[in-house]
Amino acid sequence: MIKRIRSLKFRIKLLLLLVFSLAVSIFVCYFLIININSAWQSVQKLPGFFHFDEETFVSELRGLAANYSVPAYDSGKNHSEQMEGFFATVDDYTGVYVYGTDDGLYRASCYPKVFDVLGSNSLLDWGTSITDIYNHNTYEKHNYEIVFQNGIYDVYIQNYRNTLFVYPYLIFCMLCSVALFLFIALGYIGRRMKQILCLKDEILLMAGGDLSHPISPCGFDEIGTLAEELDHLRTSFAETIAMEEESRNANQDLITAMSHDLRTPLTILKGYLEILKLKRNDPALAEEYLDRCMRKADDIREMTDKMFEYALVFEDKEEPALSDLPTGIVFSCLRENMDFLSLTGFTIEYTPDFTESSSAELFSVESGILLADATMLKRIFNNLFSNILKYGDKAKPVTVSCRPVKGEIGISLQNAIKSDRSQIASNKIGLRSTAKMVELHHGSFSSAKKGDSFTVEIVLPLKA
């Protein structure tokens, strides 16, 4: 029920609130009026003009009555002028009426002067009738037998002193009800206005570029829906900006990776061509070097044709084009890169010493199948040997090992680092790219530096 009320539209809730406020204010006014008697009794205990000492007043009248004779009955006429001295002590809020004790006929009276102040009896009767409804006498009427010169007469005393209280109290009741109505209505409106102002400040923060500050909830009506949609807009906008930033970073990394990956086969290709041009190689190996140059050219063409696939290194959602490959491809990549390092002046130590026979024994198709991407495998080893070519010390040997262990192939490369490596700029994009590609093959990659020695280890799982 409460949730349903909260989901009402703002104008309907405001209308219901006004009706509720009006009902509450009327009830409070009614409650105060029906308890006017208790309020009057409490007020009479206060010192001041509300207090009336009736006993003292009656004693004064008894003393004055001994000096006056009550006129005879004359068709209900008021003979107050003949008893003016008797009524001299009567104040503005007290009425004194003289009746015959034996016949009960009216003789004389002194009306309260408050009647003249109010202008008419109807106003007084209206106010007093309200209080009479709730068992409160608007005037207090008491009967006393007083001895005059010509006999004993009934004297009625009516106190209208509470007219000083009734009308201010009624005004007080109405003011309380109006104040309560305004307090409830304006309190709700003020709270919603405060939410709107807070919403305005948060929108200004968004306009200023602060998208981390959440939009405060503002209920379930139109204002609350607006706040919720603005918060969704804020989060989606922040996500869009973050995705654009990640895209820019990925593009930057992609450009860097492509530059690195293309530079490596180009360097090798140029090295072989220089060897062939200078004729420093064994003529018997010239044909093999030309074949390697062709393969490197094919690798470069394949990389450029699939440059969008390079984003696989930086995007977790993409997957490489895995296929069943013989484990011999690993040795082929190692042998090719080791031969090039040897031509550039590095000393290679094999563990084990790979020969044609050992390669057939260790990496034959029967020994295992890799679930891998051939292009990525070439890039992995090109990156690793390119780092050795760039940062390795030719004065110390490069140790290469390859071991099939428990359904996996482990490859380890260890080389010494140049002493003047600080002058060579490095962003480690090759290692980052390699680690990512090994991860996409469900393998593991680790690198460690100890003194001047740098070691890289790769483990690739074999297909069962």
DSSP letters along 27-82, please?
HHHHHHHHTHHHHHHHHHTSSSTT---HHHHHHHHHHHHTT--PPPP-TT---GGG
Helix, strand, or coil (residue 359): helix
Helix, strand, or coil (residue 456): strand
Helix, strand, or coil (residue 444): strand
Q: Where are the domains of the chain?
A: 8-50+163-210, 51-161, 211-244, 319-464
pTM of the model: 0.44
Q: State residue 365's pLDDT score.
A: 36
- HSE toward the beta carbon, residue 442, CA cutoff 13 A: 9
Q: Sign of the C-alpha dihedral, residues 250, 252, 254, 260?
A: negative
Q: Which CATH architecture has domain 319-464?
A: 2-Layer Sandwich (3.30)
254 contact partners, CB below 8 Å, separation of at least 6: 310, 311, 313, 314
Q: What backbone phi and psi angles, to 5 degrees, belong to 455?
A: -125, 135
**pLDDT one digit per residue (tens) for the chain, 464 residues:** 556 666 667 778 888 889 999 999 999 998 998 888 788 777 777 766 556 778 888 888 888 888 888 888 887 788 888 888 888 888 888 889 999 888 888 888 888 887 776 544 555 555 555 554 444 444 456 889 999 988 899 999 887 777 777 778 888 999 999 999 999 999 988 888 888 888 888 888 888 877 778 888 877 677 777 888 888 888 888 888 888 888 777 777 766 766 767 777 777 778 878 777 777 656 767 777 777 788 778 777 666 655 554 444 445 445 678 888 888 888 888 888 888 888 888 999 877 644 443 444 444 434 678 888 888 888 888 888 888 888 888 889 999 988 877 778 889 999 998 887 555 556 577 788 888 888 888 899 999 988 889 999 999 988 86
Detail the DSSP E strand segments found in 306-452. 323-326, 348-351, 369-372, 398-405, 408-416, 444-450
Q: State residue 313's pLDDT score.
A: 46
Per-residue three-class SS string for 13-32: HHHHHHHHHHHHHHHHHHHH
Angle of helix 10-34 versus helix 163-207 axis, rounded to 10: 160
347 contact partners, CB below 8 Å, separation of at least 6: 394, 396, 397, 398
Please return the burial class of 63, using the count of CB atoms within 10 Å of its CB with bins 0-12, 13-18 and 19+.
exposed
**How far is residue 257's CA from residue 263's CA, in Å, rounded to a whole number?**
10
Helix, strand, or coil (residue 419): coil
CA-based end-to-end distance of the chain: 62
Q: State residue 264's pLDDT score.
A: 72
CA angle, residues 58, 64, 65, in degrees to nearest 5: 85
The C-alpha torsion from 388 through 392 and 394 to 395, rounded to 10°, is -140
Whether 348 and 420 have beta carbons less than 8 Å apart is answered as no
